Structure 1
């Protein structure tokens, strides 16, 4: 009868949600998962798997190499009595030997990745370090020059660079050096971020991989402050995350939170808690599209979206004291919906109020007349 009356309400009851996965209306494969310490731990651990150190595993020492467009300077020394490269007339000649190194003009690495060195020919240098180039030139001069010594200097770096864009003071291209610059080094070179640190995400694009984590996580954990590689792109994103609080919460609103994340306990507090007069403490729910690999699902999901996510409703029972410990580690994610259902007694009171107003209007009228007779005013 209550459902036929169309009682006013802010959303489904706990009973409706609990029965929904088995109902004929569940055409989207919604799963219900009860929140406990194990579920909270799995979700917290899954967030760690999305950090830079896990996504961009592998080379942590940087990859400083030469490429087309770079400008190199090659210098060759030759031991006496060799004369292939000695230059007695140079101002660099020493008083003892009257010999000086042969310094060749700066030259740009060709589009095919090579440079030209006299008596060594065209030397392929693409992808090589300066030391590897020196060794290759030395190898080619063996048998031609007398104990040659080779020095290669990078006069201008145009390929081993990192691009920084987004919410930074200056969007620039930063040349990498053998120092092996890290993420925070490059951000500092760009003048830092323009938004509060706790609301900025750093997106790293490397080859085919694109991933982002909070800037504060990089600052607080040095292993996330990765050594950058040539061609990397850093994008500073101003991303104030938010969740929506609905139902019998202290306030129904979209609530922003820091890029570093929020726990369920914090989310309940920021939404004003649950209303004592109408909330069902056993009917607290979080609606979310959860990545398939985030959980060991208690019941295998029946439907997985093309984005490899599962529509899930997390059920929270605040009458269980242990839940409050789980709530301190259960992570709230961007675009979550936090919903608190009305208690069954609240729905009964609504129903009785409607029945009383419909079936007994004369009682209300009589009450008003008696009040007017006694006081001389309508109350």
Structure 2
């Protein structure tokens, strides 16, 4: 039977095809969200993170938060961690090589292999003396002197050792006089390594050398000052500060101790930029530091067509002292003593830009900007439209 130029079989075929088309489009609608790509979690997912992971703390960036972070950072200084008091240098250490000379007045008895002229009250007399081969202070911290025995030297000034030797020679030598000096400082000093002209061990003397003194003795740094970090290791304590900050603040030019290790590091700081930013990359920055506003500007700012201006986040392992008391209490710490923190930045609030200008970036921070909801919706509708047109074309071909 013919009805409006269409056979019953053709009509049924077209109905079946259109039903199949509708099913495909429905499947696209149901699975569209899961099939769309994304550069990271949504703003809602990040905001809910502390509810699912009790180890993470969430903080909204404000002027008060910035003050707390800056205050915590100012406590991590050389002066506070290493002390800024004069050390007693020039002391003898194990492994030091000592030059020792002993004189006695005539008639000399014990030490007579050298003659030294002296004038006393207008009359000429000859004093006898001996210079011993250089002696290295042994592992027990002592040296051996003929007729005086073993004398403790470690931790003492050369003049103190000389007095000890002289007192032991009283009654054996005739009016003995002793001179002790450090010929080679092998047991103490500061090791200077890294991006310096000459990596070396710098002896510490009675000058009470400070940090900049030993850097100068090593020939200085090989890179611009604002790109160098100085790390001082003292036992289990490791503190790092920008060289520029040390030069600007005399309190940071701290006295050093024997066996300190000073390392000059060339621009090791960086942050990672991810999400709806001008570029996604690892971005190095100067040792003197940069602000959050500078960090976002260096990656080209936010993408206008997809960024959520209320969804700017900084992921950081933070010093507990920088957190508000209510978040600090009971916060589980990482093995390094830090707390995982997510700082949220609402760039729809103009006052936030002032806080961004003073919020300091830290090494290994992650700056992430989530997609705006409308951007995700547009991606979804574009996907559905493309698939729907493809299905329509296929149906037209079939029919």
TM-score normalised by length of structure 2:
0.77
How far the C-alpha of 1:3 sits from its partner, in A, is 8.1
**2:72, 2:319 within 8 Å by CA — same for their partners in 1?**
no
- Which secondary structure state, in structure 2, belongs to the residue aligned with residue 274 of structure 1? coil
Mark the CA change 1:105 to 1:173 in structure 2 (over 3 Å): closer, same or farther.
Answer: same
Mark the CA change 1:114 to 1:361 in structure 2 (over 3 Å): closer, same or farther.
Answer: closer
- C-alpha RMSD of the superposition: 3.4
Per-residue CA deviations over 1:263-305 (Å, capped at 9, x if unaligned) read 1111111111122333222111011222434433543465433
2:356 corresponds to 1:331: no
Corresponding residue of 1:182:
210
**1:31, 1:301 within 8 Å by CA — same for their partners in 2?**
no
2:369 corresponds to 1:343: no
**1:71, 1:107 within 8 Å by CA — same for their partners in 2?**
yes
Question: For 1:288, which of 316, 319, 342 is the aligned residue?
Answer: 316
Question: For 1:69, which of 80, 84, 95 is the aligned residue?
Answer: 95
Corresponding residue of 1:49:
75
Question: For 2:64, which of 38, 41, 45 is the aligned residue?
Answer: 38
Question: For 1:206, which of 234, 238, 247 is the aligned residue?
Answer: 234
How far the C-alpha of 1:97 sits from its partner, in A, is 4.2
Rounded to whole Å, the distance in 1 between the matches of 2:221 and 2:248 is: 16
Rounded to whole Å, the distance in 1 between the matches of 2:334 and 2:32 is: 35
Pairs within 5 Å for 1:250-329: 250-299=278-327, 300=329, 303-329=332-358
How far the C-alpha of 1:40 sits from its partner, in A, is 1.6
Corresponding residue of 1:372:
none
Question: For 2:135, which of 98, 108, 125 is the aligned residue?
Answer: 108
Mark the CA change 1:348 to 1:104 in structure 2 (over 3 Å): closer, same or farther.
Answer: same
2:40 corresponds to 1:11: yes
How far the C-alpha of 1:187 sits from its partner, in A, is 2.3
**2:101, 2:132 within 8 Å by CA — same for their partners in 1?**
no
2:260 corresponds to 1:232: yes
Corresponding residue of 1:374:
none
Mark the CA change 1:69 to 1:247 in structure 2 (over 3 Å): closer, same or farther.
Answer: closer
How far the C-alpha of 1:9 sits from its partner, in A, is 3.0
2:195 corresponds to 1:161: no
Unaligned runs of 5+ in 1: 365-379
**2:32, 2:380 within 8 Å by CA — same for their partners in 1?**
no
Unaligned runs of 5+ in 2: 1-28, 394-399
Corresponding residue of 1:373:
none
- Which secondary structure state, in structure 1, belongs to the residue aligned with residue 351 of structure 2? helix
2:118 corresponds to 1:93: yes
Structure with greater Cα Rg:
2
How far the C-alpha of 1:120 sits from its partner, in A, is 4.1
How far the C-alpha of 1:174 sits from its partner, in A, is 2.5
Rounded to whole Å, the distance in 1 between the matches of 2:136 and 2:388 is: 93
Does 83-92 or 123-132 show the bigger shift? Answer: 83-92
Mark the CA change 1:157 to 1:250 in structure 2 (over 3 Å): closer, same or farther.
Answer: same
Rounded to whole Å, the distance in 2 between the matches of 1:275 and 1:12 is: 16
Query: Paired residues, what number?
Result: 361
Corresponding residue of 2:8:
none
Mark the CA change 1:73 to 1:92 in structure 2 (over 3 Å): closer, same or farther.
Answer: farther
